[in-house]
Structure 1
Amino acid sequence: MFTELGYLALFAASFLAATILPFSSEAVLSGMLVAGFDPYVSLVVASVGNWLGGMSSYWIGWLGKWHWIEKYLKIPASQIEKVHKKIKGKEGWVAFFTWLPGIGDPIAVVLGLVKSRVIPTAIWMFIGKALRYAVWGYLTLKAMELF
């Protein structure tokens, strides 16, 4: 089904995988490569889709209020402020790790919540996500050579 929709399906899968929805865009990328889609175009489409999904999580965090975190998640403002101080000036390095499964999406939301600088956050988030897809794509292509 995904290969019938081509790059649009890869973009959608990559976008959704960068939200709190559990979804494996890597499996879709591998399927696209096995089906013969262009590896470079696939890498760009997956990276941009996942980056935009990550930036949407960042934006959701940006819209959030600290008192909501205190009220609903029972995390005190002092702890949130500690995280903010640790992140300040290191937004890029923190955003780089938004590619990590399970914790990457909450990282993006927290970066938005603490109002991290947009440009470094966006750039490093893209780099991290693109590198993940590049490695995954490379491993998929190498595995195809073996079989």
Structure 2
Amino acid sequence: MLSELLILFTSSFVSATLFPGGSELLLIYYIKADPQHSWLYWLSASAGNSLGAIITYLLGYYINWGRDKAAYKYPKAWKYSCRYGVITLFFSWLPIIGDFLPLAAGWLRFSILPSTIAIIVGKALRYWLIVSSTLYLLPNLAA
């Protein structure tokens, strides 16, 4: 059980950085194999993904390397971050632009506490939706 949680945490952590990952599929697999521990899987995935995004935010906060290139590569994410502020971090779970949002928030010097809260809430809700969907909408899906 502990090894599954550590693997899921690590996969979720890596998925929150600018590297691709498959934490959602791993989470679904573990839930289907052991549904009574779904809340532990949810907690592990949420914690790993949140921590990865928070570290990405801190990298942006303390290091300005690549800022101009990234703003050019992700113009919509940059624009929304500038316009809506911390609120954009609730959407840091989105594919493609989601990984960039915490980095942009760091570069733009969003407040640390509200940014951390927004990241954690957004990531936890995302994984809660995956867990709920797996348990209640896809109950007959083979593990």
Shared fold per TM-score greater than 0.5: yes
Distance 1:104 1:11 in 2: 18
Query: Which of these residues, 7, 12, 15, is aligned with residue 14 of structure 1?
Result: 12
Alignment coverage as a number of residue pairs: 135
CA contact (8 A) 2:11 2:22 kept: yes
Give the superposition deviation at 1:83. Answer: 6.7
Whole-angstrom distance in 2 between the partners of 1:118 and 1:109: 12
Identify the residue that residue 60 of structure 1 maps to in structure 2.
59
Counterpart in 2 of 1:86? Answer: 83
| Percent identity over paired residues | 30
Distance in 1 (CA, whole Å) between partners of 2:18 and 2:137 is 29
SS of residue matched to 1:142: helix
Give the 3 Å change call, closer, same or farther, for CA 62–145 of structure 1 in structure 2.
same
Q: CA deviation at 1:5?
A: 2.6
Q: Distance in 1 between matches of 2:71 and 2:93?
A: 26
CA distance in 1, matches of 2:122, 2:43: 13
Pairwise CA distance, 1:74: 8.0
Query: Residues 34 and 144 of structure 1 are in contact (CA less than 8 Å); yes or no, is this contact kept in structure 2?
Result: no
Work out the CA distance in 1 between the residues paired with 2:28 and 2:122: 19
Distance 1:20 1:144, change over 3 A: same
Q: TM-score, normalised by structure 1?
A: 0.81
What is the identity, as a one-letter code, of the residue corresponding to 1:86? R
Return the TM-score normalized by structure 2: 0.83
After TM superposition, the structure 1 stretch with the greater mean CA deviation from structure 2, 111-120 or 32-41, is 32-41
Is 2:138 the partner of 1:141?
no
* 1:97 maps onto 2:91 in alignment: yes
Q: Report the counterpart of residue 22 of structure 2 in structure 1.
A: 24
Report SS of the residue matched to 2:13: helix
One-letter identity of the residue aligned with 1:117? S
Contact in 1 for aligned 2:28/2:131 (Cα 8 Å): yes
Q: Which of the pair has more CA radius of gyration? A: 1
Q: Give 1:36's aligned residue.
A: 34
Instruction: Indicate yes or no: 2:102 matched with 1:108.
Output: yes
The residue correspondences of 1:126-137 to structure 2 (distance < 5 A) are 126-137=120-131
Question: What's 1:78 paired with?
Answer: none
- Structure 2, unaligned stretches of length 5 or more? 73-77
1:84–1:11 CA distance, 2 compared to 1 (3 A): closer
